[in-house]
Every structure is written in structure tokens, then in C-alpha cells.
Amino acid sequence: MKRDRKDTRILIYSHDTFGLGHLRRCRTIAHALVDRFKHLSVLILSGSPIIGSFDFRSRVDFVRVPGVVKLRNGEYTPLNLHIDVEQMLSMRGSIIRHTAEAFDPDIFIVDKEPLGLRGEVLETLQMLKQRDTRLILGLRDVMDEPKLLAPEWQRKKVLPALRDLYDEIWIYGLPQICEPLDGITLPASVRKKITYTGYLAREVSTGGAPPRLPEITKKPYILVTTGGGGDGEELIDWVLRAYEHDPLLPYPALLVLGPFMQPEKQTEFMNRAARLKRVDAITFHNNLEALVAGASGVVAMGGYNTFCEVLSLDKRALIIPRTKPRLEQFIRASSAANLGLVSMLLEDGARDPAVMADALRALPRQPLPSKAVVPGLLEGLPNVAKLVEPWVHKVDDEADEPRVARIG
């Protein structure tokens, strides 16, 4: 279907049942694309309950679908509304489909979940396929162990969508760190759709008023971040134990607990931090890049976005990955440690404060990530722009702008 308009529209779907990772990745891509193409608009579909806490650039907007949360038994339940989960999923699917019909995107990018939460984007994919919309599946560098991902995708009937609906599969990483679909049997026609873009570089925003930073950031500090915080309690507890054990550690620490940490745990950690002269704690900051940029080192769990920030801003990092319910963070951290990009410490349940204190002392002495040579490491955003460019409508006043080279 030929669209009779000069502007280009991209719709990005992010299911967002937990944490901040999906939303922040989609936002980064959206901002990079509107910076590159002046007649392009991006609309993000998200289930994140705090999407409104983030700033969005001109020509980027969002539609929030009702939120759901995944329970420990793997089932989903509405985040806020007291209605049946099947009603909630039906509502979400309807909002997604009608938004796509009205917005009529030239490109539809689905983040991580090929069919969406419980298949909620399948009808939208089928409808947009009929409209000749370019359908893209975007995957982070690491999904999970193949022995777990393969049966999950088989149960969800993902393969027919990869084969018959999607035009391209973008992996936001490099195969020398991880091949997320290794071990999954895919036909050659699907394998040909895969492009490794490299990691999505981050920068500190220079637009608008400068971010308000905690007082502790006026001197050298260690940043401790859990991402969304829903599973970051062990990391925060271990770092606090280290400062309680040794108040003379080289740098003070700023703890960012995360907005999804249990309120009672937030209160406990805030109280413990308040008793320490060289530790401060906040729940959330909407410009984490600024906190990373100012830090002398970063302690984190190693989610995708934090990893990209550490690499982009060239910060020494100590990664303590979670190993349950997925090995995603462990796979990423161990590969990155082998390449000399970060150091890694495994949480063994004991959380010996002396062990963490030793690791914090060693952090300022480890090599910067930039000392490791990994070709193409941070070229994700320029490569995404190259992949998008053939589907961007050409406008007369863009004719004199510099063109980006094709991949390959």
C-alpha cells in the first residue's frame, strides 16, 4: 500500500511488564532516529507505569497501555486495575491494534517479544503486513540459555511469525559477546533476516535544564544502580554491608534503588544509608546517564541499558549479575569480563562485606572499557539508522543532508 504523505512514521512496541530496560532501549532508538531524520515521527506503545517520568524529544510520543505484572509462578495479573487478566489482555490488544490502524506506521519495531505479551500484537502484525508496513523484531544481545529459550519460543509459536511476518531481525549487540539465538533451530530464510547492529551508545542529554543531581555527586563517587530495582535487593544490601564494615572505603557511594523495589526494602535501605556518612540513597533519577557520566566507577547488575551506558561513557564497572530466573545478566557479564570490558563478582548468598569491600577498592584501578579493542562495539544507533533509511520518505529539503553509508 502506497502512503500518500511526505512524513515517515515508526511505531515501537514494548510490553514492559517489569523493570525499565525495554522502555529505555526503545526511547534511545526513537531519539536517535528523529535526530537523524527530520521528517520522521516515532510513537512508542508501552505498558510501563512510569513512562511519563521520562522526557521525550520533539516528534517522539507514547501511548501507555494498561500495565500488567508477572507473578513468580509465571502468570500475569493487572498492575492496578481490579479486573480479570484476560479482560486486561484484550484491552491491551485492542489499544495496540487501533493505535496502529490510526497511526499507520511505515515501520513497526517490536521489542524482544515476537508476538507481544501473550500474543497481543499478532493481529496488529497481520494487519500491518497487509498494509506493506516494514515489520522489525528487535532483540537485545542476550535472551536466555538456549535450553530455556528454545522451548519457550516453541510454546509461544514464534517461528511462523519470524518466517511469515517479520521482514528483519535486529540484534542490538555483537556475536563475539553473545549470539542470542544460537542453539535455536531456524530455517535459512529466517537466519538471513538477522543483522547484528552493535550496542546502542548512550550520551548525557544536553537539551533543556541540566538535571538536578544529589549533593554527593559534587565529589568523586561510586554509583550503585539496580535498574528498575525489582530484583536488586541483594546488590544494595551487599554494598551497604561493605560500607558498614569499612567506612574508610576510597569513594563515597550513591545508591539508586530503583522505582520497582519493594517499598519496605526502600525504607530499610534508606535508613541504613542515612546512618553512614559516606553513603547516600535515592529511589529514581530520570537521567541516569548523567549519574553514570559523573561517577568514578559503577556497581550494577549488568542489565542491557546499564551495560551500554558503562561502555558509552567509558566507566570502570563491577557487575554482580543475577542468575535467576534468567541467566541473561550472567551471560553478558561473563562474556564482557573475558573481553576486559568489566569485572564481575558473583553473589553467593553469604554477601561477605569484606569481599565486597575488596572489590570496591579494586574498582578504581581496573582498566577502562576503552582499553579493550572490540570492533563495532558501539555502532548500534548509526547502523539502525542505516537499516531504517531505505524506508524513509525522501523530502526535498533533505536532499542536501549528508547520507549514511549502507551496511555491508
Q: Please, what are the domains in the chain?
A: 8-201+378-398 (3.40.50.2000), 215-371 (3.40.50.2000)
Summarize pLDDT for 100-109 with one digit per residue, the tens: 999 999 999 9
Summarize pLDDT for 181-221 with one digit per residue, the tens: 988 999 999 999 999 999 999 988 766 556 677 888 899 99
Residue spans of beta strands (DSSP E) within 151-283: 168-172, 194-196, 222-225, 253-256, 279-282
Q: What's the rounded mean pLDDT across residues 152-167?
A: 95
Summarize pLDDT for 268-322 with one digit per residue, the tens: 999 999 999 999 999 988 888 999 999 999 999 999 999 999 999 999 999 999 9
Summarize pLDDT for 347-374 with one digit per residue, the tens: 888 999 999 999 999 999 999 999 999 9
Portion of the chain with pLDDT greater than 90, in percent: 69
Portion of the chain with pLDDT greater than 70, in percent: 90
* pTM passes above 0.85: yes
Cis before 325? omega within 30 = yes
The rounded mean pLDDT for the chain is: 89
Q: What's the rounded mean pLDDT across residues 383-408?
A: 68
Strand partners, 317: 298
> CA gyration radius for the chain?
21
The full DSSP string for 177-208 is: T--TTTTS---HHHHTTEEE----------SS
In the predicted structure, residue 49 carries a pLDDT above the cut 50: yes
Q: What DSSP element (H or E) covers 318? A: strand 317-319
- Kindly list the distances between the CA atom of residue 364 and the CA atoms of 157, 250, 368, in Å, as whole numbers in the listed order: 47, 9, 9
- Phi, psi (deg, nearest 5) at residue 318: -110, 115
What pLDDT score was predicted for residue 407?
45
pLDDT band at 70; cut points 50, 70, 90? low
Summarize pLDDT for 320-346 with one digit per residue, the tens: 999 887 899 999 999 999 999 999 999
Question: DSSP character for 15?
Answer: -
Q: Please give the single-letter amino acid code of residue 224.
A: V
Asked if 169 and 353 touch (Cβ cutoff 8 Å), the reply is no
